[in-house]
Amino acid sequence: MADGAGERTYDAVIVGAGFSGLYMLHRLRGLGLTARLYEAGTGVGGTWYWNRYPGARVDIESLEYSYSFSPELDAEWTWSERYATQPELLAYLNHVADRFDLTRDIQFETRVTAAHFDEAANRWTVSTDKGEAVSARYCVMATGVLSVANEIAFEGADSFQGKTYRTGSWPKAGVDFTGQRVAVIGTGSSAIQSIPEIAAQADHVTVFQRTPNFSVPAHNGPIDPAVAQDWAANRAQYRREARETGFGIRMVDQQDQLALDADAEARRATFEARWQVGGFALLGAYGDLITDLSANATAAGFVAEKIRGIVKDPQIAEKLVPKSFPIGSKRLCVDTGYYAAFNRDNVSLVDLRETPIEAITPTGVRTSDATYEVDAIVYAIGFDAMTGALGKIDIRGRGGAALKAQWAAGPETYLGLMVAGFPNLFIVTGPGSPSVLCNMAVAIEQHVEWISDCIAWMGARQMGAIEATETAQAAWVAHVNEVAETTVFPLANSWYMGANVPGKPRVFMPYIGGFPAYRDKCNEVAANGYEGFAVSSDAQRG
Ligand code: NAP
């Protein structure tokens, strides 16, 4: 039921073949719609296609960080470890693409460069870097939240004669660092996962740290057969339970009790038990850790104590202890042997707060007090998060208005799903939705299902355009900010705040009100005939 004529006309264009785009394509097919999916990579996988750095693995247990929409898919796939590696995640997403026969509608190695809304037709014209343009009623941006790398802005970076790598676009063939001196710049999740692996191979690793991060152990390993069995027997219930938790992660085992109500000894024992579980469980210990600074300090102090216990050199340990932001206000890192790597003879730490990088030279990294000669530089400097990928596309809505200009002071959306002035344009896990503050698999499924239900509703009524109203959008943006202010999140210079990209406006982008509250709001809006949205037929257009 493609509307319009000609083979370059689709009901929908989807941009990106990661977790979001694949499921979106499957759902739209289920509605009997025609869709074209454009993907820049040579294969599916999104995040798990690009981020092939050593040690890359998911930080939410794989039993939960996976699709739940198909019980058959769920039952037939077996995860080998608690936290799957990038290759296993990529294999999973390839399996999904094969199982649901998705690739025939995916055009690889094609970047979408522009999407312009044609008000007369209520359709999007989507252009690509291959010089083609197609027309679609709907455009779904499944472009990912962490998919555009931060720019390398160091003076002299191009002059470096050794090898340069970026964690977010790692060579497919892998890298052998044997015998090499390697510089790793950055100490976020990507660096924290890769440093122990690179150190095990390289001659020497110099870590350039601007801000230390909190990291907790993954305690990764094969999935305990008893856990796997229990999960298999109760899968549907556990998936439901995950969707009722604030972060969409059942295994966090979020407790309501307050850290400040517990005595110091009990609190320590609780943190210790959760440290032994590993992963985000630590943050689920108490209900006030992300809302009360004093409560937060108890967890931060516990992790600081752990760092000082693991790292043998007290001066290095002290440099590794975060002191400038509350724990959890930047994404907690989940590692395998990160702090212990600093006990190795071949790993050294450079504190960029004391001695900033002045330039990259042809042979290494020059700081204010030394030059470090290296054979390779690994940039783990992060992403232009949440808005970066949309900013790379020339998106124009009503009256030719550019999304980028409209978002110059920070992104504004209604529910993170749509933007006033940009009819029929959907964003999966956009700014203003729980997104990265939720298990992405859970957040993505809810968004994709909401979007496909909306498109089905429009089709059933033969409506031509749906668009967020300015009023609903303004109220939602205010609510997103209001909720953020009740937490410790805005206190960090994080990528959630846009603070990691020079010149980016400081706005807390994801929605921290919890997944259930958010989903209920989305459902209520839909049940009320898409309240807060303006819906028009083609006859009423303009
Ligand atoms: P990130 O958390 O933004 O870390 C980037 C690092 O680079 C920070 O330490 C940052 O320092 C540093 N940096 C940036 N620009 C710099 C400069 N000009 N000079 C010196 N240092 C600089 O990026 P990421 O590690 O790629 O992680 C991003 C997000 O991706 C994570 O928070 C997580 O959500 C996701 N991720 C998840 C996993 C997983 O699931 N296991 C793994 C990797 C990434 P400052 O802190 O001072 O800015």
Residues 481-490: pLDDT tens digits?
Answer: 999 999 999 9
Do 439 and 246 form a contact (C-beta atoms < 8 A)?
no
Ligand 1, atom 36, lies closest to the CA of 189
For ligand 1, is residue 336 a contact (CB within 6 Å)?
no
Ligand 1 mutation pick, 88, 381, 491, max ligand atoms within 8 A of CB: 381
52 lines ligand 1 (CB under 6 A): no
Residue 6, pLDDT > 50, answer no
For residue 58 and ligand 1, the question of a CB distance below 6 A is answered with yes
* Distance (Å, whole) CA 146 – CA 42: 18
CB 419 less than 6 A from any atom of ligand 1? no
Here the tokens at position 229 are 């069995």
Q: If residue 209 lies in a helix (H) or strand (E), which one and from where to where?
A: strand 204-209
**Whole-angstrom Cα distance, residue 369 to residue 453?**
59
Please choose, from the candidates 266, 267, 282, the residue with its C-alpha nearest in 3D space to the C-alpha of residue 334.
282
Which ranges of 149-224 does DSSP label H, i.e. alpha helix? 189-201
Whether the Cβ atoms of residue 50 and residue 28 lie closer than 8 Å to each other: no
Q: Ligand 1 pocket, 188 CB below 6 A?
A: yes
Asked if residue 365 has its Cβ within 6 Å of ligand 1, the reply is no
- pLDDT over 90 at 63, yes or no: yes
Distance 379 CA to ligand 1 centre (A): 10
Q: Is 500 in the pocket of ligand 1 (CB under 6 A)?
A: yes
From CA 320, how far away is CA 308, in angstroms rounded? 9
CB of 145 shorter than 6 A to ligand 1: no
Nearest CA owner, ligand 1 atom 15: 381
The chain-wide mean pLDDT, for the chain, equals: 96
| pLDDT for residue 70 | 97
Of 85, 497, 500, the residue with max ligand 1 atoms within 8 A of its CB, to mutate for a pocket test, comes to: 500
Report how far ligand 1's centroid is from the alpha carbon of 185 (Å): 10
Q: What is the DSSP letter of 331?
A: P
172 has pLDDT over 50: yes
pLDDT of 7 over the 80 cut: no
With a 6 Å cutoff on the Cβ, whether 106 touches ligand 1 is no
Judge whether residue 111 has pLDDT over 50. Answer: yes
Beta strands in 39-180 (DSSP E): 106-107, 112-118, 123-128, 133-141, 163-166
Q: Which of 420, 427, 421 is nearest to 454 (CA)?
A: 427
Which residues, listed in sequence order, are joined to residue 335 by a DSSP beta bridge? 217
If pLDDT is split at 50, 70 and 90, which confidence band does 539 have? confident
> Ligand 1, from 51, 53, 146, 368: best to mutate by most atoms within 8 Å of Cβ?
146
Nearest of 229, 271, 9 to residue 118 by alpha carbon: 9
The residue contributing the CA closest to ligand 1 atom 32 is 331
pTM: 0.97
* Substitution candidate for ligand 1 out of 81, 210, 249 with most atoms within 8 A of CB: 210
For residue 29, the tally of other CB atoms under 10 A from its CB is 16
β-pairing, 425-427 with 133-141? parallel
Residue nearest to atom 45 of ligand 1 (CA): 211
Compute the average pLDDT of residues 194-199.
98
| Mean pLDDT of the 7-31 span | 96
With a 6 A CB cut-off, is 352 part of the ligand 1 pocket?
yes
Q: Is 47 in the pocket of ligand 1 (CB under 6 A)?
A: no
Q: Are 252 and 280 in contact, with CB atoms under 8 Å apart?
A: yes
> Could you tell me if the CB of 293 is within 6 A of ligand 1?
no
Is ligand 1 within 6 A of the CB of residue 377?
A: no
Is the predicted pLDDT of residue 432 greater than 70, yes or no?
Answer: yes
Average pLDDT, stretch 463-467?
97
Q: Which residue's C-alpha comes closest to atom 31 of ligand 1?
A: 189
**By CB neighbour count within 10 A (0-12 exposed, 13-18 middle, 19+ buried), where does 235 fall?**
middle
Alpha helices in 419-493 (DSSP H): 440-460, 470-485
Q: Residue 396 C-alpha to ligand 1 middle, in angstroms?
A: 31
What count of other Cβ atoms lies within 10 Å of the Cβ of residue 405?
A: 8
The H helix count followed by the E strand count for the chain is 15, 20
Structure confidence at residue 310 as a pLDDT band (50, 70, 90): very high
| Strand-pair category, 394-396 with 112-118 | parallel
Supply the residue whose CA is at minimum distance from atom 12 of ligand 1. 186
Residue 542 has pLDDT above 90, yes or no: no
Ligand 1, from 189, 319, 351, 352: best to mutate by most atoms within 8 Å of Cβ?
A: 189
For ligand 1, whether the C-beta of 122 sits within 6 Å is no
Residue 128 CB–ligand 1 contact under 6 Å: no
State whether the beta carbon of 439 lies less than 6 angstroms from ligand 1. Answer: no
Q: Is the CB of 382 under 6 A from ligand 1?
A: yes
Q: What is the mean pLDDT of residues 8-33?
A: 98
CA of 332 from ligand 1 middle (Å) equals 11
For residue 352, the ligand 1 atom closest to its alpha carbon is: 20
Which residue's CA is the nearest one to ligand 1's atom 17? 381
pLDDT digits (tens, 9 = 90+) for 370-387: 999 999 999 999 999 999
The span from the CA of 11 to the CA of 16, in Å, is 16
**Do 134 and 125 meet the contact criterion of CB atoms below 8 Å apart?**
yes
Residue 541, pLDDT score = 57
pLDDT at 316: 98
- Whether residue 242 has pLDDT greater than 80: yes
Supply the residue whose CA is at minimum distance from atom 35 of ligand 1: 189
Distances (CA, A) of 15 to 20, 188, 240, 444, 484: 9, 27, 29, 14, 29
Query: What is the 3-state secondary structure of 336-377?
Result: CCHHHHCCCCCEEEEECCCCCEEEEECCEEEECCCEEECCEE
Over residues 339-357, mean pLDDT: 98
Q: Cβ distance 237 to 379 under 8 Å?
A: no
Side by side, the strands of the sheet bearing 364-367 are 357-361, 364-367, 371-373
The β-bridge partners of 348 are 206
Contacts 24+ apart (CB under 8 A), 234-242: 235/71, 235/74, 235/75, 236/71, 238/63, 238/64, 239/68, 242/64, 242/439, 242/442
Segment holding 520, helix H or strand E? helix 515-527
Kindly state if the Cβ of 211 falls inside 6 Å of ligand 1.
yes
Report how far residue 241's alpha carbon sits from residue 276's, in angstroms, rounded to the nearest whole number. 23
Please tell me the residue having the least CA distance from ligand 1 atom 2: 188
Across the range 140-164, mean pLDDT stands at: 97
Ligand 1 site, residue 388, Cβ cutoff 6 A: no
Is the C-beta atom of 187 inside 6 A of ligand 1? Answer: yes
